[in-house]
Structure 1
């Protein structure tokens, strides 16, 4: 299982609690779509046992932008994810970004709004913000694969389901 986060916006610690914290502790990989804010928050995410695959966001301090790319392609658990912070052109541009990289899922952030959109060939996932929802529901996501089926769920840290979807995934991942 891949645990997915974005828009932490903290100065200390990861701020995870409830099922979001459980997901990070039990994940095979962690993906973060940027806006940690400070290097100590990035370090808190890197302290989990699962590898962290992250991108920088628009509020990250220079020490983070020096360490992280703005876009990243991740292959974990037989799933290919394309990750960036800002949507840069909306759903059409995100879907194109995913197609260009043969991704199953495009992970993005910035709006703090948990969102899940199924397109013809890629799932768009904004996990929202677990720590600074800014008027939206707090959120995080999980992505998993069972045989040839991709499962994506967006939940609140207390496990309340926001959205979920499943779709076929290519066998060669």
Structure 2
């Protein structure tokens, strides 16, 4: 399983609970699209997750920014993920970011709004914020490999309530 998070915005912990915490503990790969806010939150995530691939966001303190890149590429389950916190230019800018990295999926954060958008270039996936939804539904995403090689997934609230289902096929 791949678990995807963003926008933790915490000064004290990872703020994971319910199915979000279970996913973080059980996933083979964890992707985080930034805004842990504090080193304490980043360290708490790293304590829960064996394979955390994260970027920093615009609200991260300097010590977090020093430890994490602005963007990265992660390959998992035969799919290429381009990860950023925020990209200027909206959906077009995100799609171009993904194309420049030959990505199947662009994982991003910043808006705190759980979102899946299919473009000609890549699937754009914002898991939302599991801890600080700011008027949106709290969210995180999980993806699991099917027998046919595609990834089947969902964005869920931390209590497990389904927000949106998705399917990803590598190019």
TM-score by structure 2 length?
A: 0.95
Alpha-carbon separation, structure 2, partners of 1:92 and 1:3: 25
Q: Deviations over 1:115-135 (max 9, x none)?
A: 011112311100110100001
> Which residue does 1:35 correspond to in 2?
35
**1:89 and 2:109 aligned:** no
Match of 1:168 in 2: 169
| Other-structure match for 1:134 | 134
- 1:89: how far off? 1.0
Partner of 1:21: 21
Q: How much has 1:49 moved relative to structure 2?
A: 4.1
Q: 2:153 & 2:87 partners in 1: Cα distance? A: 19
The equivalent residue for 2:143 is 143
Q: Tell me how far 1:149 sits from its aligned partner.
A: 1.2
**In the alignment, is the contact (CA less than 8 A) between 2:112 and 2:134 conserved in 1?**
yes
Distance 1:167 1:84 in 2: 19
* Paired residues of 1:87 and 1:110 also in contact (CA < 8 A): no
**Unaligned residue ranges in structure 1 (runs of 5+):** none
Q: Unaligned regions of 5+ residues in structure 2, if any?
A: none
* Cα RMSD for the two superposed structures: 1.2
- TM-score, reference length from structure 1: 0.93
Q: In structure 1, what is the equivalent of residue 108 of structure 2?
A: 108
Which secondary structure does the structure 1 equivalent of 2:48 belong to?
coil
Find the aligned partners of 1:63 and 1:25 in 2 and give their Cα distance: 25
SS of the residue 1:30 aligns to: strand
